[in-house]
Structure 1
């Protein structure tokens, strides 16, 4: 049972300020501050890892907004703790909170490589670019020793299967060997998410993600290794980080990025309350303004899920952001056309025949 507990002092190193109950729970436990713990140190919440028993690894979608129809998410939950993360509500399906549970109770797929090889070997499989990290970051801190994402990209390299990958972690540089080889054959591209160049804002909003400087450095090193890189200014939050769009794109372009994209702030389901709690705690002087602007880009609502405008919003505030972004893209040369990744090189795994067991 998830909690609706506000923890008083912020949990150290975490983004959410509470562990709000998921929308499917019938019982709510409300913890309150009775004043006795007024001088207590902020709680330290340890990350708990749990393996998932998965039968499949490739997720399919029919969304017209994302540009791919299949993806792989090696992890469920993300210890980066980004307060705005649109994947948070998925933890409610597990009976957990989209708040602190999402960033401290992480599920991973230990047999990701084997599952992927099995799916690629199916007789009816038709190759198309696979996107890695569409929901949660494939290079969150525990990937350093779990190496689940490494399994996935090694399997894709083994069979020359094209893929794209998105992250806000400098840990991606660990896999520069695979990425550079795949890029040389026209089989991969990377997107680096950079929301701000302000270290204070980044530390508050994305407490366990790489610093802005390390992300810019990742862009530079990937580019130098021949890996095509695009930068994503996502999310663009009116009244909080939207003034940085030009600065972020300029820094990314100087580091070698060839393309750019942006996504306007999205606050579906439980995220709206979690985000507002965070604003009130860390940026109380502008909380009211930010929430007002967030509604202005969603036709007066906190969120609208309509295809076509859910990524960019609508109305005058959203239009100004759109124009500024596209002008900056042209100014800094981030409008290079992308060549489609080459699916013709795919060599499917040979299915294992049970008859081979006779020769064991």
Structure 2
């Protein structure tokens, strides 16, 4: 790990990245792509030493209450967070200044901060977004080796639901010829229904590959799925977005089952929900979420 002093912490859409780089080791990670111009090793975590100071100033000066988001580039709950506690310090500030919070994670470490998530949600709104890629526990250990497995993440979703904190699942990526099966999609959807998730984001059954993450992904295919790299190259070449041959069938299953169970499945609708901070009157309605 290494420290830097950042010039700012919040984007114009109120997103933040407290860390840069990740140690979860997911074999498909798009954040490895060269397009993001990372000038250090991906596993050498960059820590914004002045993040708390910058966030405090930014939140204090906001005229309206907003949703603060994190996790779009780097999972905020990497193991290093246990020691550094940048996320927890940020949550304390978000609660203090009356804003909302949402994050994307794969880690059960988020339950460490359940107390603050509950306070933020009672005061306004907190939403946890959890990525689920595979129902198969052993496959999960290959695809996402250094973070808790799907079953543990579902326990997190259920715990959050028990504490009235709404949850959104990212159903992605779906890797062609690996986890693009009816059994996998139905298994994940079963989990989502059990956990009473509010919505599931799915842009299609496939994944993205570009310079930087493609090489890492192919290296892992050679290690765990011998011969599959050649099939990818023959089928997709250097395409950025690659769709599963089973996409149409799997998307029919996705839309049918989410609709039947009153789970939001329109990405635009879900993003609108994630970005909206409730009005003062609505924050008093405990049944809203």
TM range (shorter): 0.7 to 0.9
1:303 alignment partner in structure 2:
240
2:219 alignment partner in structure 1:
277
For the Cα contact (< 8 Å) 1:276–1:291, is it kept in 2?
no
Provide the C-alpha distance between the structure 2 equivalents of 1:179 and 1:152, rounded to a whole number of angstroms.
11
Which residue, 289, 307, 325 being the options, matches 2:254? 325
Aligned partner of residue 102 in structure 1, secondary structure? coil
Match status 1:53 vs 2:5: yes
2:57 alignment partner in structure 1:
118
Superimposed CA distance per residue, residues 26-72 of structure 1 (whole angstroms, 9 cap, x where no aligned partner): xxxxxxxxxxxxxxxxxxxxxxx111211211124xxxxxxxx3311
Quote how far apart the aligned CAs of 1:87 are: 1.1
2:101 alignment partner in structure 1:
163
Structure with greater helix percent: 2
* Compared CA separation, residues 275 and 141, structure 1 to 2 (3 A): same
For the Cα contact (< 8 Å) 2:3–2:49, is it kept in 1?
yes
**Normalised by the size of structure 1, how large is the TM-score?**
0.68
Quote how far apart the aligned CAs of 1:343 are: 5.4
For the Cα contact (< 8 Å) 2:102–2:128, is it kept in 1?
yes
For the Cα contact (< 8 Å) 2:14–2:68, is it kept in 1?
yes
Aligned partner of residue 165 in structure 1, secondary structure? strand
Aligned partner of residue 260 in structure 1, secondary structure? strand
Match status 1:71 vs 2:15: yes
Quote how far apart the aligned CAs of 1:278 are: 1.0
203-212 vs 314-323, greater mean Cα deviation: 314-323
Quote how far apart the aligned CAs of 1:291 are: 5.0
**Normalised by the size of structure 2, how large is the TM-score?**
0.83
1:253 alignment partner in structure 2:
193
For the Cα contact (< 8 Å) 1:268–1:303, is it kept in 2?
yes
1:1-360 to 2 correspondences below 5 Å: 49-60=1-12, 69-89=13-33, 93-96=37-40, 101-103=41-43, 105-122=44-61, 127-243=65-181, 244-263=184-203, 264-291=206-233, 295=236, 301-304=238-241, 317-335=246-264, 341-342=276-277, 344=279
Provide the C-alpha distance between the structure 2 equivalents of 1:171 and 1:335, rounded to a whole number of angstroms.
26
Aligned partner of residue 173 in structure 2, secondary structure? strand
Structure 2 portions without partners, runs of 5+: 281-289
* Compared CA separation, residues 122 and 329, structure 1 to 2 (3 A): same
Superimposed CA distance per residue, residues 124-162 of structure 1 (whole angstroms, 9 cap, x where no aligned partner): x65532221110100011101110111111111111112
222-231 vs 113-122, greater mean Cα deviation: 113-122
Aligned partner of residue 324 in structure 1, secondary structure? helix
After superposition, the CA RMSD in angstroms is 2.6
Structure 1 portions without partners, runs of 5+: 1-48, 61-68, 305-312, 346-360
Aligned partner of residue 2 in structure 2, secondary structure? strand
Provide the C-alpha distance between the structure 2 equivalents of 1:205 and 1:108, rounded to a whole number of angstroms.
25
Count of residue correspondences: 270
For the Cα contact (< 8 Å) 2:167–2:198, is it kept in 1?
yes
Higher CA-based Rg: 1
